[in-house]
Structures are given as structure tokens and as C-alpha cells.
Structure 1
Amino acid sequence: MRQLLAWTLAAAAALAAAPTAPTAPHPHCPRLSVRWGGENRARLQRVVDAYGTCSGHRGAVAAFDWDNTVTKNDVTDATLSWALRHDRLVRPARWKDTSAWLTDTADRALTRACGTGAGQVLRTSAHPRCTDEILQIRENGTTMSGAPAFAGSWNHRRTVPQYAWVPQLFAGRTPAELASYARAARREALAAPVGATRLLGTHTVPAYVRYYDQQRDLIRTLHRAGFRVYVVSAGAQPITEVWSEAVGVDAAHTLAIRSLLDRHGRITDRNQGCGGVPATRGAVIPYIDGKRCWINQEVYGVRGATAWRRQPWRRRPALAAGDADTDVTFVGDATGAHLVVNRDKPELMCRAYDDADGRWLVTPMFIEPLPRRPRPYPCATTAYTAPDGTPGPLLRDDGTVVPDQADTVY
């Protein structure tokens, strides 16, 4: 009864606040033109109609994660791959300087594999052991020997050290240099055939990236309907900007890890903060709750600790899209539609399949979709990651536990 009452009240509030779509849209209203599976295109079109110029509205917000949401494969990883193959990283004075949480073991492993000499260019193209250690830490948070590469305390809903570490690896380069690496990597990745991989050290990594046609069409349609479209990513800002401009999202509407610069305009190991948290060495990035914070702060002008909290209805995106647990908070904040690309990520998929407000849309990956998950998602036991990193049951807004969910859209 308590749950039914909560859902009833939430639905009533939503209906009262949400724009109403025209019953017969004008033929010149912006229309989605690319095929989607199931009813997703029709449901997305209703959001475009209800919140856009077709209903007399303008300025609604749509927010998209980038990697594996708008593109297939990770563009920051593609840029790192290109940089490692073209000797574009600069050796730090100490590897521990690159992260607040890098372990002594990881520092020694990187020093052994990559040599010494602060400020010198790393010849990673000729030293696969160095490439291997960097990629292993980036991908798995461990050294090649299997030892933890990061240790200490951090808020697991505000950062993950290996995500924050990638921009820190480019310390000593300028944003313009990093953007030039991203453009070169973009040309290469778009030219590679779908499914292509390459060997870096002993790591097999994707060699291609593609824009999803469905997402490009959706973003184009949203722009035509008067939406303000943002990208919010845990990638590096100069890299994400290079890719997002091709779908009409400029630098001002691209929110990613923004590194602080030194007096010579070079990237440092510190990044801008959010929600009253000052600049740090990666303690706060656009990651899980951090994505909400950056949207609230940069899009809606919410300052201080309030930016970490869910905002009133009209200060939240109308549409939000993501593919991973890092996106679950801001995607859940959307008032019109929560669009999820299924990449088998437990917390996000539990929210999507539970569909507590009836606004969650799930689509398989548009290129090389994953097979069906053989077992239900462990929503009732371990799907939620607490700030201290411990797993636990996922709760609805009313405090009830989300039951385990079967994978049905793949």
C-alpha cells in the first residue's frame, strides 16, 4: 500500500508538471527519421513533441553520456591508444604524481617498464612493457602482476581513479595538442572497419569507433525542436569536444573532465571541482552522482552542496541517455524519458527494467549488441555501489527494494 501510494503521488506530480504533447502534431514538427527497435522511436517522438517547439516550448534540456551511448566504443581510449602508438605522453617526475591514489607497487611497475627521466617523451611505441602497464592500470586498476594500482579512500559515486588518471597522463601537453591527438585518432577509428581490433603490448583493444545513426538523428531532431543538448562524460574535455562537435554539440555544451592548466597553458594533474568541492587530483569528476552535479551546476546554475541533490522538476533534463552505471543518477533525473543502451551494467539495468515511473526506455547496442544475460540482475542484493565502494541492494525512491530483473531487451 505504501509503495502504491508513493507511485500514485509521484505520477500525479509528474502529470501536473510535464508538458503535454499535441494530439495531432503539425506536419512541420521535427520528426525522428531513423529506425529504432520496438516502440522506442514513438516514445522518444512524444518527448520531442511534448517538450519542444511543436508544443510551444523552447529551451528544454537533453543530456547524453558520450562513450558507448552516442558512439560505439570509447573515444578517450581511442585517443590514448593513438598517443601510445605515436609517443605522445611525457614521463612524469614520479608516477605517483599522476594520481592521488596510485600505489607504491604501481609506481615501481611503471618506472621499471617506462624508464626514468622527467619531462622526456615516453617511447611507448618501442616499449610494449610500458604500454602494457599503462593500459592494464587504465582498464583494470591493477598492474600487470595483478597488484592493485590504486589504494586509499575515495567516494565511489563521485570518481573512479583510473578514469581520472587518463587526463593526468597527458600532463605537460596543452589542450590544443590533446585535441589534435583526438582528431588524428578520430580519423583513424572512423576509417577502421566495424569489429576491427589491434594489439597494444599484450592488450587487444578496439580499433574502430562509430557514431550511432539513431543517436545522431535524435540529437539533430532535439536541436530542431528547440532543446538545449548537452554531453556529460567522464572522458577528457578536449577529446570529448572533438567528437561532440560532429553532432552539433559545441564546447560550451560538453561537460567532461576539465583539467586545470599551469601558467604555460599545459595540462596538470588537477581538475575542476563541482558542488562546492574545489579543484582536486581527481576526487570529483563527472561520474555517477558527479554527472548530476555538473549538469546542475553548469546547466542550471545550482551552486554549492545543493548541486549534488536532485532538483525540482523544471530544473532537470527532459531526456537523458546513458549506457553504464556511471550514468544512472543523471539518467534517472530526467522527467520525460530515461534512455538506456544495454551494456549489461547492473545498477542502470535494474533501474531501467524496474521502470518505476514508466519512462524508462531500453535499447540494445545498435552495433554488435551483447547477448542476453543468462541470469537476472542482482538488484535486491549487490547492484548498488555505496560511496565507500561496498555493494548493496538497490532501493526505489520510496525505500522499497528493487527485485532482481531479467534481461529482456538485447
Structure 2
Amino acid sequence: MRTQRRVRAAGLLSIAMAATTLSSAPVLAAPASNPAPVAVTAGAPVSKEPAARGWKDRCPQLKLAANWYGNNAALIQRAIDRAGRCSWPRGWVPQVRPYAVFDWDNTVIKNDISDQTIFWMLRHNKILQPPGRDWRKTSRFMTDAGAEALRQACGSLARPGRPLPTRTNVRCADELLSVRKTQKTTTGAAVFAGANERYMEASYAWVGQIMQGYTPAQVRRIAAKARTAALKAPIGATQKVGSSTETAWIRYYPEMRDLIHTLKKAGIEPWIVSASPKEFADVWGPGVGVDSRHTIGIEQLLLPNGKLSGHLRGCGGLPDGSDAIMTYIDGKRCFINQTILGVTGEKALQPMPASLRPTLAGGDATTDVSMVRDAVGVHVVLNRNKDELMCHAYDNADGRWAINPMFIQPLPQRKSLYPCSTTAYVDAHGNHGPARRDDGSIIPDQADTVFGTP
């Protein structure tokens, strides 16, 4: 990994130092990778900055602006114009280079890369028997009922560390698929319990944790094969996985590719912040011009032999290997602040000052609500009818929320109101309550007004 060569601004360093707390030593080895922080320079003239010389007065424009709903393209363009390099005085760059953050699944693409990778692995015998045939070693939050169901279905089929024959053994494939899709066993028992539901979705983390025993390079090769198959499959195609019929295709949204390319031209650095494993995002990101140094996902520590350990990189004062936080809701904010800005300790869980927040943030689900709310220029939302996110989006407290139907197969109008005033918010313990604005006031119930047509 390249060493970061540019020095962070003194103001950012003071924030990071104030936020830093002493943490325990890593449980295992270093994380699988360490993305470089956003390039930050002092706010003084920099004569060698290429963008400062001869840059056009007019910022790069969205080429597919007409494909966006309503005035969304105008809201996005305004944010680009205000933060992009064409707004900088000649010979000057900002103290913190502007950046944007995007969820991946169903935001930059249609459908889900974790789903498609797991489906591919089940169809090609790529899931490994865990150590000791004990599925509790794949998640700290796995229940005894979940571990026993997997042991009964899969435990006798392969030695630890060897591939399970899920292509032909339907019972094992179905049990694994049920964990991924429903977080329950095939008989309806809960598979996970005890996670902080603002920091962790245990079933999402589990997708990465069952990769333990592979190297990151091997996981990327698996993800690349799944990607090829999903892009090749026609829109609407299905596939047989165990006894189930599942979606078989993925498509990049041209509009999101255009947005990311426009941001880059304007000097606004785009990052992917995914609740899928980082190795999966590394494979998919280049399709929109985002390299692996700008992808943040579920990231594991490595064993001394270079293989994934099943234990996760920490954030927000939760140490490496505690497996207590991932890129999920407030965890997304934490990893943005830690990875992009270099803020550590509990401070990383909190919203940063406006000057350090993303210019643009895009998402489609409650998974993304904290990072999307943090954006200072525009909050881009693809409507998938997810309560908490859509409550904030329709409330539109700052007038900068750009709600769009999905670009492919958009959902029809939700007939009932979003229950913003009663149950849209889910706390760390899984309890439901009202969604609130930054000032603590309760968001009233909202109608669904931005939707697709049959």
C-alpha cells in the first residue's frame, strides 16, 4: 500500500489527535488493507496544483442530467459547482479536499454483490467448512440454534477448511442460504443475536467472515467470477441455488457512473462505502472508476499466513478483532471518519464539523442513513421504501435531499405512510421509535411521492 505523502492540515490533525484514544493491541495481524486518507493540503496557494492552472470557469456537467427525477440533477450540479475545483481561487486548494461517499448495492448498481457472490459460491462449492465444524467461529453473534442447524446440514460433508459440496447437497445449500437471506434457520430459529443494531448487521458481516481461510486475493478472484456471471446474465434472469430460485443479474447504473466521473473531473474524490466485504467492492469499483484505495467495506484482520481470520477491523474505540462494528448505519460514518479523515477513537462515531463532511452522499437504505445525513452539499437517495432513510429524505429539513426512483425497475408507490413519528427508527437494542431531526424534533409521517410507474 502506497504511503500517504501529503501532510494533513493542522486543523484536521488537531481534531484527530483530540479524538484519539488508546486502544488495545490488535488481536491478530494488521487489517487486510489500509486505504490512504483523503489527500489534504494546507489552505495556502500551491503553484504546482495542475487543476489550478487554466481550469475552465464552468464546472464539469452531468451528461445524463435528463435521466434524473425532477430537479435532482440541478441539486447535484449545484453541490458540484460549489465544492468543485472550478470554484477555488486560482492557485489555491482547500484545506480538506472535497469528497463524496456512495453506498454500493442498489445505489451505484442494481441488485446486490454479496448476494451474487454467495450464490456463485454455493453453485460452485466454494464455501469452506469452518474450523472444528463449529459455525459459531464464523460470528460472535451466532446463536446455538443457528450453529446447530448448520452443523446438522453441513457438518459431515467436508473436513475443516475444505469446500462444502453445496452444488449438489441441497440441504446444506438451503441452510446457508437461509442464514444469508432471512437471518433464520430453515425451521425459523434466529441465527444471530446480541449485536448493536446501529453498528452491526451480523448477517452482512457473516458474508465476509465465512471467507476465513481464503486470502484476500482468492476472495477477489471469486468475486470477479461472480461479477462476470452477473453482468452477463440478462436483466430479469434467475438461477437455481439449492432449492430456491434467485436473482442472477446485476447492472451498473449509467447515471451513477456519470455522476462519479463528473465528481472526479471536478476535483471531488469519490469513495465507495459498502456493507459488503471490501474485497467484493474492490472488484466492482473500477467499473465506475473507483479503485481499491477508495473502497471501504467489511474488512478482516489477517492471520500470519496471510489468510482472512474472520475477525473484523475496529472503529470508534472498538478495537480490531472485537467484531463489534462494521460499515452499517453509524458504523458507516465511523469508517468514513477513520479511513478518509484519519479520525480515531470514539470521536469517529460522531458527525464531523461541516468542513470535514462529504460534499455528496448517496444511499438507498437505512444502512446508509447516517452517512447520507452527514453530507453538506446534497443527499442522494434511491427510493427502496426503507423507513428511516425515507423519513429524513421526504422531511427534507435542509432542502438538499434528492430523491430518485431506482433507475432500473423502480418500485411503485408505497400506499401507506412512512411511520416516521412512531417506529421508523431502530435503536442499538432493536427497539423501534420515532425518527428525529438533528434538533431532536420528531419527523411527522411522510407520504411516498417519488416512485416508478408500471
After TM superposition, the score normalised by the length of structure 2 is 0.83
Matches for 1:15-164 after TM superposition, within 5 Å: 29-34=59-64, 35-56=67-88, 59-92=97-130, 93=132, 94-116=134-156, 117-151=159-193, 153-164=194-205
Cα distance in 1, alignment partners of residues 396 and 244 from structure 2? 38
The match for 2:446 among 386, 405, 409 is 405
8 Å CA contact 1:99, 1:281 repeated in 2: no
Name the SS for the 1:62 alignment partner.
strand
Write the distance in 2 (CA, Å) between the matches of 1:121 and 1:81.
15
Distance in 2, matches of 1:223 and 1:161, equals 34
Question: Structure 1, residues 282-339: CA drift from partner, whole Å, max 9, x if none?
Answer: 3100100000001111111111100001110101001000000010000000000000
Corresponding residue for 1:307?
Answer: 348
> The residue matched to 1:124 in structure 2 has which SS?
coil
CA distance in 2 between partners of 1:323 and 1:278 (Å): 29
Given candidates 318, 324, 330, the residue that maps to 1:277 is 318
Question: In structure 1, how many angstroms separate the alpha carbons of the residues matched to 2:430 and 2:221?
Answer: 36
**Number of the residue aligned with 2:332:** 291
3-state DSSP of counterpart to 2:245: strand
**What's the offset of the Cα at 1:103?**
1.4
Distance in 2 of aligned mates of 1:237 and 1:43: 30
Q: Which moved more, 1:48-57 or 1:158-167?
A: 48-57
Which of 212, 218, 225 is residue 259 of structure 2 equivalent to? 218
Q: CA deviation at 1:28?
A: 5.3
Greater helix share, 1 or 2?
Answer: 1
Aligned to 2:5: none
Find runs of 4+ consecutive structure 1 residues off by over 3 angstroms. 25-28
Counterpart code for 2:420: C
Aligned equivalents of 1:154, 1:180: Cα separation in 2? 30
**Whole-Å separation in 1 of the counterparts to 2:173 and 2:118:** 10
Percentage identity across paired residues of the two chains: 48
Distance 1:394 1:106 in 2: 32
Code of the residue aligned with 1:37 in structure 2: it is: Y
Alignment of 1:233-244 (within 5 A): 233-244=274-285
Distance 2:304 2:56 in 1: 54
Q: Give the SS at the match of 1:46.
A: helix
Please give the alpha-carbon distance, in whole angstroms, between the structure 1 residues aligned to 2:112 and 2:135: 24
1:125 aligned counterpart, secondary structure: coil
What RMSD over aligned residues (CA atoms) do the two structures have, in Å? 1.3
Q: Could you tell me how far apart the structure 2 residues matched to 1:344 and 1:229 are? A: 25
Tell me, what secondary structure is at the counterpart of 2:290?
coil
Aligned residues: 385
- Runs of 5+ consecutive residues of structure 2 not aligned to the other structure: 1-54
TM-superposition CA deviations, 1:225-283 (whole Å, max 9, x none): 00111110111011111001221111111010111111111111101001121123531
The 10-residue stretch of structure 1 (229-238 or 108-117) with the greater mean CA deviation from structure 2: 108-117
**Is residue 251 of structure 1 aligned with residue 251 of structure 2?**
no
Contact 1:229 1:253 survives alignment (8 Å): yes
1:324 paired with 2:365, answer: yes
User: Which has the higher mean CA deviation after the structures are superposed, 218-227 or 104-113?
Assistant: 104-113
CA shift for structure 1 position 187: 0.8
Secondary structure at the aligned position of 2:382 is classed as: strand
State the 1:29 CA deviation. Answer: 2.7
Aligned-partner residue type, residue 98 of structure 2: A
> Which ranges in structure 1 are unaligned for 5 or more consecutive residues?
1-24
* 1:367-404: CA deviation from partner (whole Å, max 9, x where unpaired): 01111101000000000011111000111111211000
Supply the AA of the counterpart residue of 1:104. D
Tell me, yes or no, if the aligned pair for 1:76 and 1:240 is still in contact at 8 Å.
no
